[in-house]
């Protein structure tokens, strides 16, 4: 069982919908990450939060909006997505200088 | 940007066989990590390496941090069916800011020999 919990596990949405992905960890990690993973490819970094502040945005389109309400929670708000945004969205967390631990992801399909 | 060359891309295993895969980089890393990903799940950390020359085991898995800090290998001994999956290497330059970002290899897919 992973210690990083992501919900929902699956999400199907239309291009005009607004939805959110959620990630939660209770390991006391102060760094949290969002990744996008296409089939048969490695994860690609989207955002990094350090001590609840956005520290890295890897030139992600504004239709993806991250939010870190507290040290245990990380959200990814989605709006007006495109079919090419269909992918597995992974959340990870880590202590400073320690390896990242991943959740099981949200499988997102855009109709 | 930095890239990791991971090989082989795929391989077939027969139960009991030993398996080896490796990653090379044109740049130096300070940390090497090996993850395994099963279908429908996120990557799971197998082994973390922090020092050049370090050899670390986790059960039947053994990984080494190359002396040049530009490569790492992972060996699996006496493979079993549950070893199938995709194995990713990842390098990390340092800690903090973009230095803490993981650079992933493209993965090695392990399948059972038909």
Residues of B in contact with A55 (CB under 8 A): 97
Residue A3: band (very low, low, confident or very high) from pLDDT cuts 50, 70, 90: very high
Closest Cα of chain A to B9: distance in Å?
10
Angle value at C-alpha B99, between B93 and B101, nearest 5 degrees: 90
Assign A56 a pLDDT band (cuts: 50, 70, 90): confident
CA–CA separation, A98 vs A74, rounded Å?
Answer: 19
Q: What is the mean pLDDT of residues A94-102?
A: 91
CB contact under 8 A, A31 and B100: yes
Mutate to test the interface with B, among A99, A103, A106 (most CBs of B within 10 A): A99
pLDDT number for residue A2: 62
Residues of chain B in contact with residue A99, where contact means CB-CB under 8 angstroms, are 31, 33, 45, 48
Backbone angles phi, psi at A85, to 5 degrees: -85, -5
Percent share of chain A, pLDDT over 90: 90
- When computed from its CA atoms, the radius of gyration of chain A, rounded to whole angstroms, is 13
Hey, which residues 18-77 in chain A have their CB within 8 Å of chain B? 31, 40-43, 45, 48, 50, 55-56
**Predicted local distance difference test score (pLDDT) of residue A10:** 98
Q: What is the mean pLDDT of residues A47-73?
A: 94
Of the candidates B41, B45, B104, which has its C-beta nearest A101's C-beta?
B45
**Closest CA–CA distance from residue B91 to any residue of chain A (Å):** 10
Mean pLDDT of A101-107: 97
Q: How much is the pLDDT for B65?
A: 97
pLDDT of residue B31: 94
Q: Please answer yes or no on whether B98 and A100 come within 8 Å at the CB atom.
A: no
Q: Does A37 score more than 90 pLDDT?
A: yes
| pLDDT per residue rounded down to tens, chain B (114 residues) | 567 999 999 999 999 999 999 999 999 999 999 999 999 899 999 999 999 999 999 999 999 999 999 999 999 999 999 999 999 999 998 776 676 789 999 999 999 887
Q: What is the pLDDT of residue A66?
A: 97
pLDDT at A1 over 60: no
Taking the C-alpha atoms of residue A85 and residue B10, their distance in angstroms, rounded to an integer, is 26
Q: Could you give the CA distance from residue B72 to residue B100 in angstroms, rounded to a whole number?
A: 18
Mean pLDDT of A9-21: 95
B101/A56 Cβ within 8 A: yes
Return the pLDDT at B96: 67
Question: How would you class B40 by CB atoms within 10 Å of its CB: exposed for 0-12, middle for 13-18, buried for 19 or more?
Answer: exposed
């Amino acid at each position: 069982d992973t210690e990083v919990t992501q919900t929902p596990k699956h999400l199907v949405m239309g291009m005009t919908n607004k939805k959110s992905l959620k990630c939660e960890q209770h390991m006391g990690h102060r760094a949290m990450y969002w990744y996008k993973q296409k089939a048969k490819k490695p994860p690609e970094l989207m955002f990094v939060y350090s001590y609840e502040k956005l520290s890295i945005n890897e030139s992600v389109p504004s239709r993806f909006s991250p939010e870190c309400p507290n040290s245990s929670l990380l959200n990814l708000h989605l709006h007006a997505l495109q079919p090419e945004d269909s992918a597995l969205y992974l959340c990870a967390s880590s202590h400073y200088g320690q390896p990242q631990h991943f959740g099981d992801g949200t499988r997102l399909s855009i109709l | 940007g930095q890239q990791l060359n991971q090989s082989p891309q795929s391989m077939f295993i027969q139960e009991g066989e030993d398996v080896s895969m490796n990653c090379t980089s044109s740049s130096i890393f300070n940390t090497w990590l090996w993850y395994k990903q099963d279908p429908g799940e996120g990557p799971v950390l197998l082994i973390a390496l922090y020092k050049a020359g370090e050899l670390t085991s986790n059960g039947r898995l053994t990984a080494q941090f190359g002396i040049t800090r530009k490569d790492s290998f992972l060996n699996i001994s006496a493979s079993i069916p549950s070893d199938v999956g995709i194995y990713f290497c990842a390098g990390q330059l340092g800690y903090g800011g973009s230095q803490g970002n993981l650079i992933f290899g493209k993965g090695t897919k392990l399948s059972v020999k038909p």
